[in-house]
Amino acid sequence: MIVVLHSGTSATEVQSICERIRALGCSPLTVETSDRTVIHVEQIPGPEARESLKRLRSMSVVEQVIPLGKGFERIAETAKFDVGGIAFGGNSIVLMAGPCTVESEEQLFSAAESVSKAGAQVLRGGAYKPSTSPYSFHGLGVAALEMLRDAGKQFGLKVVSEVMDPRKVTLVAEHVDILQIGARNMQNYDLLREAGRSGMPVLLKRGMSARIEEWLLAAEYVATSGSEKIILCERGIRTFETATRNTLDISAVPVVKSQCNLPVIVDPSHATGRRDLIEPASKAAIACGADGLLIEVHPNPEEALKDGAQSLSSEEFADLVPRLQAVAEAVGRKIGVPNAVR
Amino acid sequence: MIVVLHSGTSATEVQSICERIRALGCSPLTVETSDRTVIHVEQIPGPEARESLKRLRSMSVVEQVIPLGKGFERIAETAKFDVGGIAFGGNSIVLMAGPCTVESEEQLFSAAESVSKAGAQVLRGGAYKPSTSPYSFHGLGVAALEMLRDAGKQFGLKVVSEVMDPRKVTLVAEHVDILQIGARNMQNYDLLREAGRSGMPVLLKRGMSARIEEWLLAAEYVATSGSEKIILCERGIRTFETATRNTLDISAVPVVKSQCNLPVIVDPSHATGRRDLIEPASKAAIACGADGLLIEVHPNPEEALKDGAQSLSSEEFADLVPRLQAVAEAVGRKIGVPNAVR
Amino acid sequence: MIVVLHSGTSATEVQSICERIRALGCSPLTVETSDRTVIHVEQIPGPEARESLKRLRSMSVVEQVIPLGKGFERIAETAKFDVGGIAFGGNSIVLMAGPCTVESEEQLFSAAESVSKAGAQVLRGGAYKPSTSPYSFHGLGVAALEMLRDAGKQFGLKVVSEVMDPRKVTLVAEHVDILQIGARNMQNYDLLREAGRSGMPVLLKRGMSARIEEWLLAAEYVATSGSEKIILCERGIRTFETATRNTLDISAVPVVKSQCNLPVIVDPSHATGRRDLIEPASKAAIACGADGLLIEVHPNPEEALKDGAQSLSSEEFADLVPRLQAVAEAVGRKIGVPNAVR
Amino acid sequence: MIVVLHSGTSATEVQSICERIRALGCSPLTVETSDRTVIHVEQIPGPEARESLKRLRSMSVVEQVIPLGKGFERIAETAKFDVGGIAFGGNSIVLMAGPCTVESEEQLFSAAESVSKAGAQVLRGGAYKPSTSPYSFHGLGVAALEMLRDAGKQFGLKVVSEVMDPRKVTLVAEHVDILQIGARNMQNYDLLREAGRSGMPVLLKRGMSARIEEWLLAAEYVATSGSEKIILCERGIRTFETATRNTLDISAVPVVKSQCNLPVIVDPSHATGRRDLIEPASKAAIACGADGLLIEVHPNPEEALKDGAQSLSSEEFADLVPRLQAVAEAVGRKIGVPNAVR
């Protein structure tokens, strides 16, 4: 941490800042340059002190506080992990697929069967759906959770589903293998903590205007609350471009990998909002190192209750997988094989 | 609602879309232009049907669905209201001020006394603080709520404080006059609903990447859940500019007013992140029609546990108010007078 | 300038960087902290060396280069100035008004007469118009320049008009009092240099995705090329919000003023794109310290060949000025009076 | 084109709009819905009329003007092309590589030799460099152009270099095979027209805040001015994310391809600003359909006069090409082979 003072700061003021730094358990190293004093802060005892040091910029004599190093510790050390036998962050690429929203047993089981046959290892499906409008469909709730659990069992798929309310974490955790935290809730800290406390694997989507650093700090909330099995999911960020629903920040995949060990997957459906872009976006994701994909697949996207415009049909998904496999192999990896098939 | 079909759509397909429209209780009016069919959808029975119609864009023969009119009903009809005698949305401008975070009884009562004397009508102060890092200070919780209630009583101020967890809505509601929903939780729909169910006045901050339409739909969640006393708060949006913490979208004030009757206030502290910009931003807000301001004031900003760099000192706030009063008068309004003084 | 090295950088590598720093005429001051070496660069001889130092981040051992101070010198020292007797950056606020595009003598003279009577001191009007589509109207060119010159003369107004092509700077300069550089050309460096060389006053619009620092560096191009009479114009930046054409970054006004002495004006027409928002945006601009406004006024906006939706009618403009005057007075300033009237 | 009127528009006003539509050579088709009049505009004679129709939104009775179809004609019809025997937009992927800036004969020839051997077909190198600061290095100008021409000849490479000034188009065109228009000049219309008039192939970079539609309209300027050999280059857009220099909008590649036939390449150097991200970004680009890459390669990036932090060394580039080849093959394409080698 470097604290740059304005030129003209008095010796007394410098002294007073140094005392605040020492009070936080750190050591100040004062450098007199030709036009100002700069303080290097040493021996920061932990991340709490690091956060407190940033507050020095409230002082009028402080021009800048420049943090060095990372603000997270736990996720930086996290090891590779598996979820019910499916390895994340290793050589294989995990396909997660299924409908945006669980609409009926028929729809879900049809989707589950087809994605399982096509090569997906994880079934996705919304039981509780966030919607911009209060007048939209909000999901079937617990009935959908039961269907997801049953469909997963029947077709040898692990199950991921979103939880939005900290009061429902336990309920959702009883039915699924991975808890999903959606983009709108990436900074819903009570939810992050509750999800962490469950000890369940957590799929954490990037907030639509979250910087990568903020996303990783959200993951740190989950990790410090009790779960270190965190799958990060890039799903597009909000920009000025209107040709796509969001802007897929594909570089986020290698950027995250340069910072921590957590697996990163990509959701091409939400990132683009367009069925015709799912294939190129999926290939790009695999080529640049993503550990998995989260794709919306619906038996009949034209009839979908939500987000049909960004869903593949079951046939389209099955057709796509071999082409994704080819790209995976080109970068020395392979699409994983469903449990039931092994 | 206008549904534009791709050229070449067959009569059978048109027929099938018309049936879907009728199944939603609406009437399709089909227009054959020289190069394509366009369907005007009439007699939409309510906002749920309106949302369902948007799903037609999932169909491959649909090029565009163009919604006409607004997606919200309740907030469009909301009347002006008051909170404990303080009128919102009328001729007077309400100052809300106080520390970012309640740190101690001494700090809070000192701030409350000074902002009350200076002309604020509402005391702000965080008991539960959202923080990007899990290692930051997160507030004193219920102890802070009690101090807020007592300080408000003593200095004749109404109290606003943030609630982040739907499980704490009742608790916070027992201590404050206005529930605040923060920017990070603008699309935390379970929280919005719980806040609405409390029947309490709600101060709803704009999400940092929320379009105005999305913000109004978030308010519609609160309104349809039971509370129509909603105060909207513009607090800056996230852009590429780094000179300020966020970018104050000052035009949002008149844009919102052209859409609904809810009062709109501005938070110059979070919008700019810089103490020296609070004055110009506050004046701009009043000049363009804001119904109030939410300003961070701390007895000693340099010692603040959070956000000191964007807080005014008690003296600076007291100095500022008369200058804000002058701008208010120039646009035919006036800064309200604290309850205790009247 | 502070150069932070990665931990583990060898003494030889540190030595080699220090030599590069010395080769640029600067003095390195090396600080050994507990986990890394940090180099403070002293006695930077000028802005060219400052730019060259930034290149050190190309080196793999360099973690960060942190520039201190400003990258511009000339505009930081610029004094207040006037254009043909109209003072900029002082106590009075300058109104610039007129049609987006010069369409005909009748239209222009009607607009000029009305804005002059209403209180404008500068006539704006496009002779060369940038348009997103090659199929749009591009202006009347030199014929428009002549009309502008004549209308200015007749109604006692100074004239500002945009130049887009460095080959036309001389021509435009012969007809107007202030050269305008549009948002799309803010980083058209050959144009900036040519405009600067003309010695004419330059109105420099902010690029639609330019950070404030980049805008000031663009002004520095003009200043170092020969003209120090530069008027900065905030005209909205591009963000995700679609309710307005651009997002008016009102905080840019005080931010610029904290960095240099150049006058800053606001263009509420382009910033909002909506006639009904011109009034609130103009008041906000004046309240927060803008030195002038650039407003589109058309005798009949509904018939305008370009941008009618963001133009006031002559009557609307005349009605507005007294209300702007009230806000100006509330912040201790006044709207300037046209030359002809004095 | 659909013109939606506000409810309550009188028959006379509707009549008057219909007359304006007829005056533009178009046919209005009026539809009375239950709550408003909507006008479908038919038989639009050409793109100029289309642009003029958009101006109807200036009228207060008009709520929305909804353009259907595309605003460009020429680039939509453009055929695949080649530049000196190098095919663009077909099965092979073209590598363009070389230093950001030509610094010396030694540097350029070393770079040219290495990229040619490694598989590049086009040599890039800046003779005129846009720089945010007037105090940065601006390129060697005509001397650099001569070196580029000679290096290209010697190593069997075509040459691309940026032109910023319309007065220099002829000069640059005499030395290179492809004129580059940089991101900052994407809406410098005089330059676009001059480049088009040269008849030369043009590499058109996307502006840093340009929507895809605006980028294609910029290409339409070039095409209508005389050159239809246009190579579009995605180079990252400006967003709130600061981990990368820009945000690579990888979806832009397939979006453009869904709109027109022009080839699209990707510049991973500018898009990411980080040497370590060039490989994953390049692979992502190829996987999602890019027709080429523009990569900065420098014999010694740590010594580069500009942008070294985003340049590969000659060795790194040579190592990378086979891995790119693997991804190309996975999507049924191949990296092209340099002319000299064939």
Sign of CA pseudo-dihedral B162, B168, B169, B173: negative
Place of tokens 């102890």: B143
Out of A43, A66, A242, the one facing C34 most closely (by C-beta) is A43
Q: Is the ipTM of this complex over 0.85?
A: yes
Buried b (16+ CB within 10 A) or exposed e, C256-272: bbebbebbbbbbbbbbb
Note whether C238 contacts D167, CB cutoff 8 Å.
no
Average pLDDT of the residues in A88-99: 95
Chain C's closest residue to B257, CA to CA, is C277
Percent of chain C with pLDDT over 70: 99
Secondary structure class of D98 (helix, strand, coil)? strand
Q: What is the pLDDT of residues C213-252, one digit of tens each?
A: 999 999 999 999 999 999 999 999 999 999 999 999 999 9
Give the bridge partners for B294, in sequence order. B96
Which residues in chain B are closer than 8 Å to A166, comparing Cβ atoms?
A: 165-167
Average pLDDT of the residues in A14-36: 95
Percent of chain C with pLDDT over 90: 93
Q: What is the pLDDT of residues D19-69, one digit of tens each?
A: 999 999 999 999 999 989 999 999 999 999 999 999 999 999 999 999 998
Calpha distance B58→A131 (Å, rounded): 17
Which residues in chain D are closer than 8 Å to C304, comparing Cβ atoms?
A: 55, 58
Q: Report the amino acid identity of residue D65.
A: V
Out of C241, C285, C331, the one facing B211 most closely (by C-beta) is C241
Q: Are B320 and B313 in contact (CB under 8 A)?
A: no
Distance from the Cα of B254 to chain C's closest Cα (Å) equals 7
Chain A's closest residue to C237, CA to CA, is A240
Low-confidence ranges of chain B (pLDDT < 70): 338-342
- Residue A183: DSSP 8-state: G
Buried b (16+ CB within 10 A) or exposed e, B91-106: ebbbbbbbbbbbbeee
Angle at the Cα of B143 from the Cα atoms of B137 and B144, rounded to 5 degrees = 60
Angle at the Cα of B238 from the Cα atoms of A71 and B177, rounded to 5 degrees = 90
Three-state DSSP string of C189-255: HHHHHHHHHCCCCEEEECCCCCCHHHHHHHHHHHHHHCCCCEEEEECCECCCCCCCCCECECCHHHH
Nearest in space to A288 (alpha carbons), one of D322, D236, D255, D324: D324
- Would you say how long chain A is, in residues? 342
Out of D34, D63, D240, the one facing B238 most closely (by C-beta) is D240
Which residues in chain D are closer than 8 Å to A278, comparing Cβ atoms?
A: none
Which residues in chain D are closer than 8 Å to C226, comparing Cβ atoms?
A: none
Distance from the Cα of C66 to chain B's closest Cα (Å) equals 15
Distance from the Cα of D329 to chain A's closest Cα (Å) equals 8
Q: How far is CA B280 from CA B92, C256, C262, in A?
A: 20, 12, 17
Calpha distance B326→B337 (Å, rounded): 15
Distance from the Cα of A31 to chain C's closest Cα (Å) equals 8
Detail the DSSP E strand segments found in chain D.
2-5, 27-32, 37-42, 62-66, 81-83, 86-88, 92-98, 122-124, 158-162, 178-181, 202-205, 230-234, 264-266, 292-298, 312-313, 334-335
Q: How far is CA D294 from CA D108, D181, D235, D247, D282, in A?
A: 16, 13, 9, 16, 9
Q: What is the pLDDT of residues D266-306, one digit of tens each?
A: 999 999 999 999 999 999 999 999 999 999 999 999 999 88
Out of B47, B135, B311, the one facing A50 most closely (by C-beta) is B135
Chain D's closest residue to C276, CA to CA, is D60
What is the predicted pLDDT for the residue at A79? 81
Residue A266, both tokens? 């990509």
Note whether A47 contacts B133, CB cutoff 8 Å.
yes
Which residues in chain A are closer than 8 Å to B51, comparing Cβ atoms?
A: 131, 133, 135-137
Whether pLDDT at A341 is above 60: no
Out of A47, A135, A137, the one facing B50 most closely (by C-beta) is A135
Nearest in space to A50 (alpha carbons), one of A26, A33, A29: A26
Residue A15 has a CB neighbour count (10 Å cut-off) of 11
Q: How many pairs of residues across A and D have Cβ atoms under 8 Å apart? A: 127
Which residues in chain D are closer than 8 Å to B26, comparing Cβ atoms?
A: none
Calpha distance B135→C299 (Å, rounded): 60
Place of tokens 């209005």: D28
What is the predicted pLDDT for the residue at A338? 66
Whether pLDDT at A340 is above 60: no
Out of A34, A66, A240, the one facing C239 most closely (by C-beta) is A240
What pLDDT tens digit does each residue of chain D (342 aa) get? 999 999 999 999 999 999 999 999 999 999 999 989 999 999 999 999 999 999 999 999 999 999 998 899 999 988 889 999 999 988 999 999 999 999 999 999 999 999 999 999 999 999 999 999 999 999 999 999 999 999 999 999 999 999 999 999 999 999 999 999 999 999 999 999 999 999 999 999 999 999 999 999 999 999 999 999 999 999 999 999 999 999 999 999 999 999 999 999 999 999 999 999 999 999 999 999 999 999 999 999 999 988 889 999 999 999 999 999 999 999 999 998 765 444
Note whether D250 contacts A326, CB cutoff 8 Å.
no
Secondary structure class of C65 (helix, strand, coil)? strand
Three-state DSSP string of D41-91: EECCCCHHHHHHHHHHHHCCCEEEEECCCCCCCHHHHCCCEEECCEEECCC
Nearest in space to A15 (alpha carbons), one of A30, A35, A34: A30
Q: How far is CA A96 from CA A99, A206, A318, C270, in A?
A: 10, 17, 13, 45
Subunits in contact with chain C (3 or more CB pairs closer than 8 Å): A, B, D
Write down the mean pLDDT value for chain A.
Answer: 95
Calpha distance D61→B109 (Å, rounded): 55
Which residues in chain C are closer than 8 Å to D50, comparing Cβ atoms?
A: 135
Write down the mean pLDDT value for chain D.
Answer: 95
What is the predicted pLDDT for the residue at D306? 85
Q: Are A270 and A247 in contact (CB under 8 A)?
A: no
Query: Would the pTM of this model clear 0.90, i.e. be above it?
Result: yes
Mutation target for B interface from C251, C266, C283: give the one with most B CBs within 10 A.
C251
Mutation target for B interface from D1, D3, D40: give the one with most B CBs within 10 A.
D40
Chain B's closest residue to A211, CA to CA, is B238
Calpha distance A171→B93 (Å, rounded): 46
Out of C211, C237, C251, the one facing B242 most closely (by C-beta) is C211
Strand order in the sheet with D2-5: D27-32, D37-42, D2-5, D62-66
What is the predicted pLDDT for the residue at D342? 41
Note whether A250 contacts D281, CB cutoff 8 Å.
yes
Mutation target for C interface from A30, A40, A259: give the one with most C CBs within 10 A.
A40
Give the bridge partners for A178, in sequence order. A160
What is the predicted pLDDT for the residue at C69? 87
Note whether C40 contacts A38, CB cutoff 8 Å.
yes
Q: Are C241 and B212 in contact (CB under 8 A)?
A: yes
Note whether B251 contacts C237, CB cutoff 8 Å.
no
Low-confidence ranges of chain C (pLDDT < 50): 340-342
Residue A291 binned pLDDT confidence (cut-offs 50, 70, 90) = very high
Task: Show which residues on chain A lie within 8 Å of chain C, measured between beta carbons.
Answer: 2, 4, 29, 31, 33-34, 36, 38, 40, 42-43, 63-64, 66, 68, 238-240, 242
Out of A2, A29, A43, the one facing C2 most closely (by C-beta) is A2
Distance from the Cα of A310 to chain D's closest Cα (Å) equals 14
Note whether D189 contacts C133, CB cutoff 8 Å.
no
Calpha distance C51→C74 (Å, rounded): 16
Note whether B190 contacts A301, CB cutoff 8 Å.
no
Distance from the Cα of D114 to chain A's closest Cα (Å) equals 24
Note whether A287 contacts D289, CB cutoff 8 Å.
no
Calpha distance A271→A267 (Å, rounded): 6
Which residues in chain D are closer than 8 Å to B64, comparing Cβ atoms?
A: 66, 68
Q: Report the amino acid identity of residue A119.
A: G
Calpha distance B99→B126 (Å, rounded): 7
Give the bridge partners for B62, in sequence order. B5
Note whether D29 contacts B29, CB cutoff 8 Å.
no
